[in-house]
Chain A
Amino acid sequence: MEWSGLGSVGSISAFWSQLVVIINHFKKLLSGKSLLISLPYLWLILLVAIPLLIVLKISLSDMGPTSVTDVLSWSQGWPTIKINFSSYLFLASDQLYIDTYLSSIKYALLTTLICLVVGFPFAYFMARAPKYLQPMLLMLIMLPFWTSFLLRIYAWKTLLVSNGIINNALLSLGVINQPLAIMNNSFSLVLGMVYSYLPFMILPLYANLSKLDLRFLEAAADLGANAFKTFWLVTVPLSKAGIIAGSMLVFIPAVGEYVIPELLGGSDTLMIGRVLWDEFFANNDWPMASAVAVVMMLLILLPMSLLSRYQSEQAESKL
């Protein structure tokens, strides 16, 4: 018989039982937990990890005459890696890029600071408002979120341009003689960013301040602290987590913002998101755009590590 080539019946059954063990192993892998984990895992690897690796790879490659030359190439059957730092070198040597990064950080910091100065009292007063009013006050903060961000930025454009609604109103009232220059400069840029990100500052601050134990404030008052001292020495330290969370939620998206500088900024208000866009769409320089992106990510990782240090417990319990 041809079977004899495989050996005795015993070895076949041994082989069979081995096969069953292997199949069961795979079944176990595919069942329940593993399947549940691997589905979102693969989805995120495909859409987060791989794209970021590709950005890194392209940032290290050279812009050829027509297309990007690959970092990894095959010559005579062997993989060859050719790393090209020219984009990074150009980035570090060109004053324009350095200025742009610095001014992005400057505008983002300014936006964060203004949001904090406006948002902290707001959240504080909101948390002190009558309990029955608070859900409505909160909803009024969230409501603009549901209407298009783009349209709200566009609305500021109609308000701020030199023959816009604000200037026309002030001119007809006789407050000013000539239109104010409040559009396409750093004023309109920061105004637009404060407007868009203020709710991101208010919401975590409110969540934090509404849980504040009022007895601490009473205790401070009993011990003779005045209102300012109580605020500075009790309220602010107790709401530190909210301040940090709110500041990060404003600062991080503000650094890379593209739409607001494009619609409200001027030619001299340099923002890095806009530079990345132009490198990619106008200059078609993929390695340069990727290098700009990599450096931008590194810039964001720094405040983010701060955030995660303060928030890791909170975030972990949330997710």
Chain B
Amino acid sequence: MSKIFARTWLIMVYLFLYLPIVTLVIYSFNDSPLVSIWSQASLRWYSALANDRDLIASVVLSFKIALMVGLLSVLFGTLTAFVLSKYKRFYGRTFFFSMATAPLVMPDVIVGLSLLLMLVSLQHWLGFPERGLLTILLGHALLGTAYAAVVVSSRLKEMDVRLDEAAMDLGCKPRQVFRFITFPLIMPSLISAFLLTFTLSFDDVVLASFLSGPGYSTLPMVIFSRARLGLNPSINAVAAVTIAVVSVAVIVSSIYHVRTQRKRDHEIAMRYSDGSQ
């Protein structure tokens, strides 16, 4: 009885989570210009997508920004995580910690407003930067740094300190310890931090709207402005394409993950059997 109840509860919540995603995809094949009324199956909105210049330009811009955001966030996020996990005592550590966590808990509208006001004063004093790609990049990279720091530091926390110590005992300089021990061990978390921050950037509409200038519309900004005006079948097609790309990426990465895990287990097993001989 309780088992049936548990199962029903799980299934209902999953249905709730996936219902909108599934309907988006199904209705992207709907021929009717009225989004919610099914007429017949067609690929009409997909071909419209291919000719939608604004949308394609925005995808290219979003992709460029997200790529750079991923790299910048991993760089600064790793530095932040490294400093916080390695140095337990330095001047202003609490302040540093609160600054690193603030973007995670502040609403997007506040982050966007504060960054915009800072950039406006910067432009007032220095004459640059012009609002556009660079300013969106800075905003997303700030958010990304905070998220990447959390991802990387949870990995650093799991790491065995004795490995570092062993390397140093064997004569490694700090730089070499990082290069040959720490870096390979945190590599998976760097990849997941990159993917996470890439997605964050590719998905954000609030920060981008605050920080962008004329002529720089990211994909979420275009989608948002169309969705605000009403229902638009072209958005369904965009959604279906995004979901397809994401699903393929998730499936490929989980297969890769399982394979490397298996390979590693196999290698460890081999080593053990070698040692026992």
The one of A45, A155, A319 in contact with B150, judged by C-beta atoms closer than 8 angstroms, is A319
The one of A36, A47, A148, A259 in contact with B239, judged by C-beta atoms closer than 8 angstroms, is A148
Q: 7 pairs across A/B with beta carbons < 8 Å?
A: A36-B79, A39-B76, A147-B239, A147-B243, A258-B206, A318-B150, A319-B149
- Interface size class for chain A? 35 or more
When distances are taken between beta carbons in the complex, the residues of chain A under 8 Å from B243 are 147
Known: A147-B242, A150-B205, A273-B107. A45 touches B99 (CB 8 A): yes
| Bitwise interface map of B from 196 to 229 toward A, beta carbon under 8 Å scored 1, else 0 | 0001001101100010000000001001100110
Judged by a CB distance under 8 angstroms, whether B176 is at the interface is no
Contact in complex: A318, B157 (CB < 8 Å): yes
Contact in complex: A290, B174 (CB < 8 Å): no
When distances are taken between beta carbons in the complex, the residues of chain B under 8 Å from A32 are 174
- Interchain CA distance A162-B239 in the complex, whole Å: 22
Residue of B nearest to A145 (CB): B199
What is the size, in residues, of chain B's interface with A at 8 Å between Cβ atoms? 81
Contact in complex: B117, A300 (CB < 8 Å): no
Contact in complex: B21, A319 (CB < 8 Å): no
CB of A124, distance to nearest CB on chain B (Å): 8
Residue of A nearest to B26 (CB): A165
- Which 6 pairs from chain A and chain B are nearest by CB? A256-B107, A155-B20, A51-B114, A51-B118, A125-B6, A44-B99
Judged by a CB distance under 8 angstroms, whether A15 is at the interface is no
Judged by a CB distance under 8 angstroms, whether A78 is at the interface is no
Query: Which among A51, A125, A153, A297 has the greatest number of chain B C-beta atoms within 10 A?
Result: A51
Query: Which among B227, B231, B249, B254 has the greatest number of chain A C-beta atoms within 10 A?
Result: B227
When distances are taken between beta carbons in the complex, the residues of chain A under 8 Å from B108 are 256, 258, 273
Contact in complex: B110, A296 (CB < 8 Å): yes
Contact in complex: A128, B109 (CB < 8 Å): no
Contact in complex: A151, B223 (CB < 8 Å): yes
What is the interface of chain A mostly: helix, strand, loop, or mixed? helix
Contact in complex: A44, B138 (CB < 8 Å): no
CB of B44, distance to nearest CB on chain A (Å): 17
Known: A293-B114, A300-B107. A118 touches B13 (CB 8 A): yes
Contact in complex: A122, B13 (CB < 8 Å): yes
Contact in complex: B83, A36 (CB < 8 Å): yes
Chain B interface (Cβ < 8 Å from any Cβ of A) = 6-7, 9-10, 13-14, 16-21, 23-24, 27, 34-37, 76, 79-85, 87, 90, 92, 96-97, 99-103, 105-110, 113-115, 117-118, 121, 138, 141-142, 145, 149-150, 153-154, 157, 174, 199, 202-203, 205-206, 210, 220, 223-224, 227-228, 231, 235-236, 238-239, 242-243, 246, 249-250, 254
A145-161 interface (Cβ within 8 A of B): 145-159, 161
Contact in complex: A195, B13 (CB < 8 Å): no
Judged by a CB distance under 8 angstroms, whether A286 is at the interface is yes
Contact in complex: B105, A41 (CB < 8 Å): no
A-B contact count (CB 8 A): 218
Extra inter-chain contacts (20) besides given A121-B9, A154-B235, A161-B231, CB under 8 Å: A36-B83, A40-B76, A40-B100, A51-B115, A128-B6, A140-B14, A145-B199, A147-B239, A148-B202, A148-B220, A151-B235, A154-B223, A154-B239, A163-B37, A165-B36, A198-B16, A256-B109, A259-B224, A289-B113, A293-B113
Residue of B nearest to A279 (CB): B113
Chain A interface (Cβ < 8 Å from any Cβ of B) = 32-33, 36-37, 39-41, 43-52, 54-55, 58, 118, 121-122, 125-126, 128-129, 137, 139-141, 143-159, 161, 163-165, 168, 195, 198-199, 252-253, 255-259, 262-263, 273, 276-277, 280, 286, 289-290, 293, 296-297, 300, 304, 315-319
When distances are taken between beta carbons in the complex, the residues of chain B under 8 Å from A140 are 14, 17
Residue of B nearest to A280 (CB): B113
- Interchain CA distance A26-B102 in the complex, whole Å: 31
When distances are taken between beta carbons in the complex, the residues of chain A under 8 Å from B141 are 47
Contact in complex: B239, A159 (CB < 8 Å): no
Contact in complex: B242, A164 (CB < 8 Å): no
Contact in complex: B142, A47 (CB < 8 Å): yes
When distances are taken between beta carbons in the complex, the residues of chain A under 8 Å from B238 are 151
Residue of A nearest to B78 (CB): A40
- Interchain CA distance A198-B103 in the complex, whole Å: 21
Contact in complex: A40, B79 (CB < 8 Å): yes
Contact in complex: A296, B113 (CB < 8 Å): no
Known: A43-B76, A293-B110. A150 touches B36 (CB 8 A): no
Known: A158-B36, A263-B227, A290-B113. A125 touches B9 (CB 8 A): yes
Contact in complex: A159, B23 (CB < 8 Å): yes
When distances are taken between beta carbons in the complex, the residues of chain B under 8 Å from A149 are 203
Residue of A nearest to B236 (CB): A158
Contact in complex: B231, A158 (CB < 8 Å): yes
The one of B23, B84, B150, B254 in contact with A158, judged by C-beta atoms closer than 8 angstroms, is B23
